[in-house]
Amino acid sequence: MSVLVEVCIDSLESLPIAEKAGAGRIELCSSLATGGLTASAGYMKAAARVANIPVYGIIRPREGDFLYSSDDVEIMLEDIHTAHKMGLNGVVIGALNAQGHIDADVVSAMIKQANGLGITFHRAIDHCASPFDALEFLMSHHVERVLTSGLAKRADEGMDTLKAMVEFCHGRLGIMPGAGVSPENAKQIVDFTGAHEIHLSGKTTRASHMVYRNEKATMGNGDSDFDITVTNPDTIARAIAAVRG
């Protein structure tokens, strides 16, 4: 069985690294530390220019839940338009209502705005009160795949649900396990669930090239501004070798 490995990145530097390591598709994000947020227009455009594999941009205007205000929705629709204009191959979307069901109006509007772009529904599915009803909705709207941990914290803890999802969709909708996927568990997840795609970041850090450093002043919640997050090619290559072994 051929298994595609999607790699999520949050810097242009990581894109050729992931591609060279054998990634079959990129999920383009900013701020992976918060679960992935929408990339800037410039970042989208640069990624589309340098990539030789499909690039899907996540459409997520803020961290936290997937219950979006009208302002959030307006931003997401504009960001989908931007993704299309900048040359991305697809978008990664999701929205829920307060009761934990897919927000049909918002998701339908995003699909329409995508206007032919490929569509992945992201891990909002893992916060759904009725995930199999959500799968029915997504299949009826011709979404390509769902990124999911099987409603668990990690994909290797949600394998029973992932397998049930794969069987339920019966090829009409791809189920792509993600969250906590590694070279050590990727083959087990794929073999048990029957999934044909898998998702990971394979993150590591490299040292900043700055010579002058003021270690006292830090941005955000990190310990240092001089550890740069990048994709680890060895992690990606080992995960690919595992699932194709």
C-alpha–C-alpha distance, residues 239 and 148, integer Å = 18
The reported pLDDT for the residue numbered 1 is 64
C-alpha–C-alpha distance, residues 242 and 245, integer Å = 5
Helices (H) and strands (E) in the chain, counts: 8, 10
Whether 110 has a pLDDT exceeding 80, the answer reads: yes
Q: How far is CA 165 from CA 26, 108, 145, 150, 216, in A?
A: 23, 22, 11, 8, 48
What is the CB neighbour count within 10 angstroms for residue 208?
A: 12
C-alpha–C-alpha distance, residues 205 and 208, integer Å = 9
Residue 147, H or E segment: strand 145-148
Residue 15, H or E segment: helix 14-21
Collapsed DSSP state (helix, strand, coil) of residue 140:
helix
Q: How far is CA 94 from CA 72, 123, 218, in A?
A: 12, 8, 32
Q: How far is CA 232 from CA 22, 77, 183, in A?
A: 12, 32, 12
150-171: average pLDDT: 97
CATH class given for the domain over 4-202+231-244: alpha beta
C-alpha–C-alpha distance, residues 65 and 236, integer Å = 29
117-136: average pLDDT: 97
The reported pLDDT for the residue numbered 218 is 79
pTM confidence score: 0.95
Average pLDDT over all residues of the chain:
96
C-alpha–C-alpha distance, residues 192 and 181, integer Å = 14
Q: How confident is the model at residue 222 (pLDDT cuts 50, 70, 90)?
A: low
